[in-house]
């Protein structure tokens, strides 16, 4: 990947390359329009695709088009906020980048797991330019349960949504849940001072997986990328 402002060429990692303004990312872009964790670039065999983390107001674009997830081709220009980068060294494959990447069917969730996901994603659905998902401690405080209980729920949710171990696991889970349309923001309502909003899923915008998957349903998230889900691992040229 070549950063257009500096001309710096950065090789991609063999699996997942994180992009953002934070210190812990693999490719750091010093641009105020870029979130601390803005996007991930994923390699699956000969395929390379970019995933917007869904936590930035400025979003990610490929060749000027806003995307959530999209297969990349050699020469594509990816914009993270206003920072432009050009992809190179990607093997040519017969893949239509406008075809949606098929997402896994949402798993069955218990009522408490829905509560945990709602609390986890609540900060990401605010009007802030960038906020991280809630921590286990914040979720525990929100739901009035122990932090240990929340961590156990999160471990089960990571397994259900197939979120691999590694950095930014909570962020990946929140992004997956929001992208599937399982949690969505509702119009602001007046809440009396010193009054906690109810945690009932019906008032937080949480819907059943079946409802969220129904095309045309409120909050349904179309346009998630393209191409096959997991391609067989094959040797390819080095992508940069």
Q: What is the pLDDT of residue 154?
A: 96
Q: What is the pLDDT of residue 205?
A: 46
Report which of 97, 91, 38 is spatially closest to residue 62, judged by C-alpha positions.
97
Q: What is the pLDDT of residue 174?
A: 85
pLDDT means over runs of 10, the chain (240 residues): 92 93 92 90 89 78 85 92 92 57 68 92 64 88 95 94 85 79 55 51 46 47 36 45
Structure pTM?
Answer: 0.45
Q: What is the pLDDT of residue 40?
A: 93
Q: What is the pLDDT of residue 105?
A: 63
């Amino acid at each position: 990947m070549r950063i257009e402002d500096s001309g710096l060429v950065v090789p991609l990692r063999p699996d997942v390359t994180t992009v953002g303004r934070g210190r812990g990312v693999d490719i750091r872009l010093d641009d105020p329009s870029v979130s601390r964790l803005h996007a991930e670039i994923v390699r699956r065999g000969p395929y390379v695709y970019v995933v917007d983390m869904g936590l930035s107001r400025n979003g990610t674009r490929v060749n000027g088009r806003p995307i959530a997830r999209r297969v990349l081709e050699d020469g594509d220009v990816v914009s993270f906020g206003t920072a432009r980068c050009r992809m190179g060294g990607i093997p040519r494959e017969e893949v239509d980048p406008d075809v949606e990447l098929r997402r896994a069917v949402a798993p069955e969730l218990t009522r408490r797991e829905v509560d945990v996901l709602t609390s986890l994603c609540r900060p990401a659905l605010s009007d802030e330019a960038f906020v991280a998902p809630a921590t286990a401690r914040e979720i525990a405080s929100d739901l009035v349960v122990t932090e240990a209980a929340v961590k156990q729920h999160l471990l089960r949710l990571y397994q259900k949504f197939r979120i691999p171990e590694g950095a930014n696991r909570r962020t990946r889970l929140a992004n997956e849940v929001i992208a599937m349309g399982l949690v969505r923001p509702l119009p602001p309502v007046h809440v009396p001072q010193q009054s906690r909003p109810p945690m009932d899923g019906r008032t937080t915008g949480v819907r059943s997986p079946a409802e969220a998957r129904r095309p045309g349903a409120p909050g349904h998230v179309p346009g998630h990328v393209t191409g096959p889900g997991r391609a067989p691992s094959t040797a390819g040229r080095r992508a940069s």
